[in-house]
Structure 1
Amino acid sequence: MKNNIQLILGMMNLEQQKTKSESAKKAIESATNRIQAMGIVQDYLFLKNSYKFIYAKDYISSLVDRLFLFYGPNDRSIQLDCNIEEIFLPIEKAIPCGLIINEVFSNSFKHAFPENREGKITILFRKSDSGYLMLEVGDNGIGNKSEIKESPNDGDSLGISLIEALCFQLRGELEIERENGFLIRVRFFP
């Protein structure tokens, strides 16, 4: 499986280099990042020799580190605040969670902090007393309605629609807050 993902990523990289359209390059870049988020799960499964559960703290930390390296500013003007509990997560829940994190995280870097504005991206993953899991991903950026793009002609066009579909796949509840930044909150049972 890992070799297949690497092959797909390699082909997408070649296609991105070949294309002249900036919007096509952005769309390929977004798709590549989504595939890499799934690839981190596959890497974890291979390393841990586990095929049913993933350790959420390791997975989310690894994903966030890769995203921060890819999108993060060189001057560290954007801080990262991660609070991830030690939870075993079924594989069928891990991939949608990773894709939600990828979507919000990448859009925060692209849209929440214009003109090198300083800020913070926050990720919380915990288990409630009632047994459901809660994933929060957000920022203290400009918080406008266009932060997660919804335009079908944009490279980030999946935006809210993708997050809603992933939340549905988790059989979860989705909340979106746009005051004092932008926040996605998903509650679901493991």
Structure 2
Amino acid sequence: LNSSRDAARLGFSLALTLLLEKMDFVPAEYVYYTQDGISEKNKGLKGQEEKEYYFARMFAVMVVLRARMIDRSENKKDVIEKSIKIVQETMKKKSYLMEWGCTILKDIINEYKVKVEPIYKEMAVEYSKNCSVDTLMVLLTLQRNFKGWDWKGILNNEWENEIITSAENVEKLSEILKESTKAHPRLHSTWL
């Protein structure tokens, strides 16, 4: 997963996903356990090696999700929490990981709506205070999946209206979405 060649990394993660999908005796916890072992050995990495290490962490979570290993886990809640923790820690390390990390978080939220609801609420509060084009994608996903939450309380006067996509929030949304045109020379995932 931490190959320096993009095609090799993608190919390996696809093959690993397909393999782990069929090998239902390998628990998700084992994937994270081996990943944790690698991280202990790789403290103090710099440059390309550091980038490869971060990619490996993100790909490990993607493999667990795509192989549906969480569904087979005896303790789904712990595996979901670990997945979220890995993604949040990793995406904060480098700006180029933010969009990817938020896309993975969006996938976790869509797939596992009620398993770790308190963590999702913490995420909503944090991301509403420090909203970027990347975290907006997560906020919108949370609002779509948890309509019954007290969004007025969660957004805590950070937004004009508790419905993020409402007309009253157009000015704030436009400021946030304009960021994507500066940082990304392509259409950002939030727009999709």
TM score, norm. by length of structure 2: 0.33
* Structure of greater relative contact order (alpha carbons < 8 Å, 6+ residues apart): 1
Larger radius of gyration: 2
Greater per-residue helix proportion: 2
